[in-house]
Amino acid sequence: MLTGIIADNNEIERLYFCKLLEETNEVKILAEAQDGLTVLDQVTRLRPDIAFLDIEMPGPNGLEVAREILTLAPETLIVFFTAYRDFAVEAFALNSVDYLLKPFDAFRVRKTVAKVQEKLAAREVIKKPGGGRLDKLAIRNKGRIFLINLDEIIFIEKSGKNTTIIHTARKDFHTPQTIAELEQQLARHSFFQRVHKSYLINLNMVESISPFGGNSFIVKFSGCKKDAIISRGNIDLVKKHLKIS
């Protein structure tokens, strides 16, 4: 069963959300909070699977709390629930699993819980019994989890608002996960580098780099007809990793 903490200064709405979560029989609520400082303390002590955060609350707001959780308890997933649409982009930039708009119903809450379960399953499936990790990237798409060998990945591309494409020599994989989320999974592998807001590349697959316009560079890859872009601000980092003076 998943464990969670709920933070909302509106007691009626907090209790209603708590009830909907418990009715799924998939989530155990460890604690409730009415302000940002309290929920930060609870997350640090209790280490829940999920922190359900309202945006507007006393003390640090939900977005500020989420930033702190990413540092203090990075294993805790974030779900926002709020009456405001305006913060959705910022919320997903913080790698939140979902963004629930009030008022919501039991069906919508079950969908959120399913998303959390998928995300946690993707974490666990790439762990070896001995505590090591397999050289695979776990992605989700339409309720399924796909494992892609890292040495197959040529580059990863942000495509539109809700899709990321993982390009490999044999096929392309699509996922609603953000490029920032995949970058986090690949952080321990230095040959994967974020070179542009829309591109994460495998340096081992780079065939050539050429100037492109006045502020960027175009990357061509071995065994791939598609290209990626390196922003001027990232070219020195790429040269350093490729040992190019």
Q: Report the CATH number that the domain containing residue 11 is assigned in CATH.
A: 3.40.50.2300
For the range 156-164, what are the long-range contacts, defined as Cβ-Cβ under 8 Å and sequence gap of 24 or more? 156/182, 156/199, 156/200, 156/201, 157/198, 157/199, 157/200, 157/228, 158/197, 158/198, 158/199
pLDDT band with cut points at 50, 70 and 90 for residue 123: low
C-alpha gyration radius of the chain: 20
Domain-located, residue 130? no
- Shared-domain flag, residues 51 and 96: yes
Residue 68 confidence (pLDDT) above 60: yes
Residue 28 confidence (pLDDT): 93
Domain housing 37: 2-125
Specify the pLDDT at position 122. Answer: 67
Between 169 and 55, where is the model more confident?
A: 55
Same-domain check for residues 197 and 174: yes
Residue 131 resides in a domain: no
Q: What is the mean pLDDT of the chain?
A: 86
Whole-number pLDDT of residue 134: 58
For position 244, what pLDDT does the model report? Answer: 73
Q: Are 69 and 176 part of one and the same domain?
A: no
Helix (H) or strand (E) holding 205: none
Same domain? 14 vs 57: yes
